[in-house]
Structure 1
């Protein structure tokens, strides 16, 4: 079947973004939804217009995340068409982009984390599942916890980018055209060497370090399902919303900053290192993950008390 003009332009745009170093997987999925919408309902159009675009976006009303994910690449696509001289392409006004309000993170206690990983190891011994799941999931969760990776970075991690002999992992082109090298602790290295030996016996030529099979990674839905299963097993009487797998990343950020503060290390001097380790391009994105939590109040009080003699008393009069 011959490609439509809109389809050819979308393909060219995606190729252009990837040539700049962007992964552009999620964006491609939404643009392909848009392409099918155009080909089915507006086959006579070769450029986006307001009517066809609004009709497409109506499908995502009430879904702020989905609406944003649909709008953002469509705006970029229109701007790309403008640069090619297609001045009649409809550009979604920036004020129409929905504001995203991230769900507040859940802060794990050390007791909860210890209980979770004990249950994780125990559960997968009893329920190993297919394709070495019982080996892979405990290791994957530990890397998320110990390194503060984005879930996608861990599940899509190529086996060739893990250098256990040198104790580092290369994260290439993760979010945008950014790459970084993260060093891992001796304890995690020893654990992963054992893991690698066991999983290599099942998938000797695997593409991904945490594989679903020899060629494919686990989906984000699979990670969330397994995380939720273990959390419910660990805390059967849990009430309210479950923590999310992404909360490991939040925990890594604030736990690291809190530890530096407790040890008397200059946090301001260390934040740029944490920023690079987590793959951020500015410090404010790193500080977004930091929150004061109940188990830090005592330490914060002790730290701030050192300043008491530098702050003058307020006179009664």
Structure 2
């Protein structure tokens, strides 16, 4: 299944500036996907309904950011942030829009704890993935999912990073994944373990990729890029079949595989007696985080399950890292 192109259509009085704003954000290296578009579309509708005439007052902004019904605090926070960023952009190009102060943003608190798979659960899930039967309708389905899970677990990739891989991104001789278009616009070279490298070679052979093949490593039935939505749905089913559930009875998320890789990697380095002062920045770079604060949050969220890592890190991060308000994954 191919990712659908988003039609960026705005109809309000500032429609041309919304498109310029999107171009501006992209020029800075940000990805503007469907979630951003729909937030901007809501702002565009608000401007049209209120007959905005190239000025944005404090009253109008406060009306726009006010909480609506039973919406979540996170949704309101996103609206506040978006209109602030848009106002800053408009002022840069000569307008005089009211800029909503960041200090007035509603506080988004999250007590979410990622799910860390046990080795037993990982083995159980791999057995289920390896037993997926062949389907004439989806002839590569039973090959793609076992490979994808192994790569997510073995390299800690974000799901869209994995799905966007092409053969040119994988050095099959050296066993290195080359990521160019990442979330934070930085190139990453990810060495694979020997076992994963061997499995990748087997996968390429089973898929029947020719030496000249330069398409997607995980091709959809039409040969394009897989959409992440069916991946999420299918992995939920696999986890349910493997009887892997969170405390609330729901299956873990695909992104929890990345959390698992991170925690296991830190634990391994600690057990090997490596200097944690050096290990954490290495893992941060491998994961593609902008800074080690984003990596350090894995430790805060898994205190009870991985006390060896936390205990070793306690003196290191105590009082050093600022509170991470906008978590990056």
- Name the TM-score, length of structure 1 as normaliser: 0.79
* Structure 1, 54-63 or 24-33: larger mean CA deviation: 54-63
Which residue of the partner structure matches residue 160 of structure 1? 168
With over 3 angstroms needed to count, the CA separation of the structure-2 counterparts of 1:66 and 1:276, relative to structure 1, is: same
1:109 aligns with one of 90, 108, 118: 118
Work out the CA distance in 2 between the residues paired with 1:146 and 1:234. Answer: 19
* Gap runs ≥5 in structure 2: 1-8, 314-329
Work out the CA distance in 1 between the residues paired with 2:137 and 2:237. Answer: 13
State whether structure 2 residue 219 is matched by structure 1 residue 245.
no
Describe the SS at the equivalent of 1:14. Answer: helix
State whether structure 2 residue 291 is matched by structure 1 residue 282.
yes
State whether structure 2 residue 143 is matched by structure 1 residue 141.
no
* Structure 1, 23-32 or 39-48: larger mean CA deviation: 39-48
Q: State the 1:11 CA deviation.
A: 1.1
Structure with the bigger percentage of helix: 1
Which residue of the partner structure matches residue 93 of structure 2? 84
State whether structure 2 residue 85 is matched by structure 1 residue 72.
no
Work out the CA distance in 1 between the residues paired with 2:42 and 2:140. Answer: 38
Which digits, 9 at most, give the CA deviation of each residue in 1:174-218, with x for residues without a partner? 22333322111221122122223434559x967432232446433
Which residue of the partner structure matches residue 317 of structure 2? none
- Name the TM-score, length of structure 2 as normaliser: 0.77
1:1-317 map, 5 Å = 5-26=13-34, 28-34=36-42, 37-38=45-46, 41-42=49-50, 45-46=53-54, 50-51=59-60, 54-55=63-64, 62-87=71-96, 89-94=97-102, 95-101=104-110, 103-122=112-131, 124-125=132-133, 130=138, 132-199=140-207, 201=209, 207-214=215-222, 216-235=224-243, 240-290=249-299, 291-294=302-305, 296-297=306-307
Greater Rg by CA: 1
Work out the CA distance in 1 between the residues paired with 2:19 and 2:157. Answer: 30
Work out the CA distance in 1 between the residues paired with 2:79 and 2:139. Answer: 34
- Kept in 2: contact 1:148–1:249 (CA 8 A): yes
- Kept in 2: contact 1:67–1:98 (CA 8 A): no
* Gap runs ≥5 in structure 1: 305-317
Which residue of the partner structure matches residue 320 of structure 2? none
Describe the SS at the equivalent of 2:95. Answer: coil
- How many residues are matched? 299
Q: State the 1:265 CA deviation.
A: 1.7
Q: State the 1:52 CA deviation.
A: 7.0
* Structure 1, 99-108 or 157-166: larger mean CA deviation: 157-166
Work out the CA distance in 2 between the residues paired with 1:151 and 1:48. Answer: 39
